[in-house]
Structure 1
Amino acid sequence: MIQILKGKVSLYIIPLLLCIMYVLESYYKVVFFYSGKTTDLLQITKGIVFVGFLAYILKRQAKTLWLTSILFLTFAIGQWALPSIMLKPALIAFIKLIFPLILLIFFSVFELSNKQKVVFFKVFEYIIVFNSVLILVGFLFNVKVFNTYIGSRFGYNGFFLTSATGSYVYSIVLIYLLARYKHTVFKKPTNLIIILSIILIGTKVLYIFLTSFFFVYLWCYSKINRNVLIGSTLGLGLLGLYVFFYKYGIFNEIRQRDGLLSSLMSFRNDLLLEQTIPFIKGNWNVINYLFGGVSDLSTKSQIEFFDIFYFFGILGGILYFYIFFKTFLVFKTEIQISVLLVVLFILILLAGNFFSYTSVAIYIVVLREYFKKSDLSVTKNNGMI
């Protein structure tokens, strides 16, 4: 009996973690929307998960953390070299940035069985379908709590807390769906619900990635002439740019007032020029250029490529990306999936908050674990959505 219970706990503990993270993010969003108050429950839970996973790694395979330990050392040196140190905010920011690294390392040490993976992916799909239905409900009935943005800007992202979380999670979902269903991706009603909901989220990252998804799908699985496909995609892309940035909506207003680059980058370029670079010029020395250092987190540009090097410096930034790719890219996949992964990473570097939003980390793990499966037929015959 005890062995059976242990088996059940082992089977469902990781999917349960995925559910808990989603439910707590939903709770945070609802509480904030209706009361304007925040709750520490989500952060506390993530902290417990972080400490628990870190302790497990240290107990089972501590040597897998040696590069992360060096990264912490570079962070400490960079902070020490600053004229003034804001230790607590910087340490919290560091933990957020290494959260996805720790999760990826944990799931390399704690190998999921095929049965565990089946349950994991099933729960993941149920959560995404459920959230996609909420997006459609939000759009059809104007349910404000499901809005992507505060204010008048269009978009619905269900219970995902931020626009960045919705953008990155649904980009990961699109890669997952194409990898799993391939040419039949549009034949599943639940997939159509998900893809329709993506159109309603309202972020530039998702519109660009969705276009890339359709292009890759048609390139690989349709009989459309490829020259026609390239021309049509470029034409529709230029038409979309013209409509969004030169004709209607908030991006047109920003372009007219602040310029096209500010509209395209959502003012990230202005933050870089007016906040990040002045801080560097006024506070950094040679050590900081090597190891980074930020005492005022509001000076981040929100451009991921710059912010990683801003926080960790040249050497620390290279090490951070090396650890991420070393722990994430542990699989082989088809060329079309590789293309989408490259597109996503480029968008991540130009946008922001992919690595520092801890809610995204568990979905990175879902994608990696799917591609790590040795038997791709496992999920096709086990009652998945």
Structure 2
Amino acid sequence: MGISILGMLLDSELVRSYPFRDRFGYSGLIPKRNEATLFYMLGVSVAYARLVIEGRKEKVLFFYSLFGALILGTKGIYIFLIFLFFFHIRANKKFLKNLLIVGFFGIVLGIIVLPQTEMYSYYYSQAQRIGFFTMLLSGRDVIFYNEINNIVQNWNVFNVFVGGQNQNNKAFEMDFLDLFFFFGMIGSFLYIFLMRKHFFPGKQKTPFQNFFMFSYFFLAFFGGHFFASAVNGLYFTIVTIYIYKSGLIMHVRRTTEISYDNYINKKSLQ
């Protein structure tokens, strides 16, 4: 993350998310943008869990990771940050008041500030040139239309259940589609089932666990290198365990507070 910030200050092409292109973004030494998106998503999630859920006084860590995510410049990380922003507002007790305030500043930002930025100009021109949906998916829909016939031309009913994509064919870089074409319906079901069981365990999940799980699968549906990330595989495992334990800590804390309040109320009635 420090390398990304230094690269931004020096305007170095070596650490840009989109080197030698007229597009903002600094990913540090992570070569794949999708993997950088997941990396920063994990970092911000841990920092948020430590600051908000566990109540640690670590604002510097959170804002440091947040700044690194903001300068990454990928659509995926911005979508995640928007999700996290609204999750935090919704989890706050003053939900309606916060929503009105956010709505007001969101309108001001969207009408006055955002159109003046270089990033808005880039995405706006891309949407006009190739279409909004194609811009949003970074051209993955075009790849799908161009490659789908080559992939399924020799398929039969058996392949629908077990997959059978040629390794030499280009992947769509939309993880749910790639998962189906490589492993079929049965393999995809087993993969998702085992991932949910081992990485997102427990029947009763905390709100943040549900949020993290939703964000992960949502971004994996529209992007690639989430299910099979060489860079983030170990980090993802550690972070999911950490978020699970943070939920347990919060549950124990709330249970203790409720028990203590009940004890005080009983003593006051005696």
Q: Same fold (TM over 0.5)?
A: yes
Structure 1 position 163 matched with structure 2 position 33: yes
Provide the secondary structure at the position in 2 that maps to 1:148: coil
Out of 338, 356, 360, the position equivalent to 2:228 is: 356
Contact 1:268/1:302, CA 8 A, preserved across alignment? yes
Aligned equivalent of 2:178, options 296, 300, 307: 307
- Greater helix proportion: 1
Matched residue, 1:174: 44
The CA deviation at 1:229 is: 5.3
Distance 1:233 1:335, change over 3 A: farther
Q: Is the 8 A contact 2:200 2:209 kept in 1?
A: no
Out of 241, 252, 267, the residue aligned to residue 369 of structure 1 is 241
Letter in 1 for 2:121: Y
**1:321 — aligned with what?**
192
Residue 63 of structure 2 is aligned to residue 196 of structure 1: no
Distance in 1, matches of 2:152 and 2:109, equals 38
Matched residue SS, 2:90: helix
Return the alpha-carbon distance in structure 2 between the equivalents of residues 243 and 204 of structure 1.
Answer: 18
Q: Residues 241, 189 of structure 1: CA spacing in aligned structure 2 closer, same or farther, 3 A cutoff? A: closer
Out of 131, 134, 137, the position equivalent to 2:3 is 134
Deviation (angstroms), 1:252: 2.9
Do 1:292 and 1:314's aligned partners in 2 also have CA atoms closer than 8 Å? yes
Q: Deviations over 1:87-120 (max 9, x none)?
A: xxxxxxxxxxxxxxxxxxxxxxxxxxxxxxxxxx
Give the CA deviation at 1:135. 1.4
Alpha-carbon distance, 1:254 to partner: 2.7
State how far apart, in whole Å, the 1-side matches of 2:103 and 2:214 are: 21
Number of the residue aligned with 2:256:
none
* 1:252 partnered with 2:124: yes
Answer whether contact 2:114 2:120 (CA < 8 A) is retained. no
The equivalences for 1:47-62 within 5 A come to: none
1:167 positional shift = 0.4
Corresponding residue number in structure 1 for 2:265: none
Report the residue type matching 1:133 in the other structure: G
Task: Give the alignment partner of residue 154 of structure 1, picking from 6, 16, 24.
Answer: 24
Percent of matched pairs sharing the same residue: 24
Deviation of 1:369 (Å): 2.2
In the alignment, is the contact (CA less than 8 A) between 2:127 and 2:135 conserved in 1? yes
* Equivalent residue letter for 1:345: F
Matched, 1:207 2:72: no
| Aligned 8 A contact 2:24 2:119 in 1 | no
Instruction: Look up the match of 1:334.
Output: 206
Q: Describe the superposition over 1:199-242 as per-residue Cα deviations: whole angstroms up to 9, x where unpaired.
A: 10000000111122222223334746144157358747966997
Partner of 1:263: 135
CA–CA distance in 1 between the matches of 2:121 and 2:83?
Answer: 23
Task: Tell me, yes or no, if the aligned pair for 1:186 and 1:192 is still in contact at 8 Å.
Answer: no
Give the number of aligned pairs: 244
Q: Which of 291-300 and 318-327 deviates more?
A: 291-300
Q: Does 1:279 align with 2:150?
A: yes
Offset at 1:247?
5.5
CA gap 1:274/1:341 in 2 versus in 1, 3 angstroms: same
Aligned-residue Cα RMSD (Å) equals 3.0
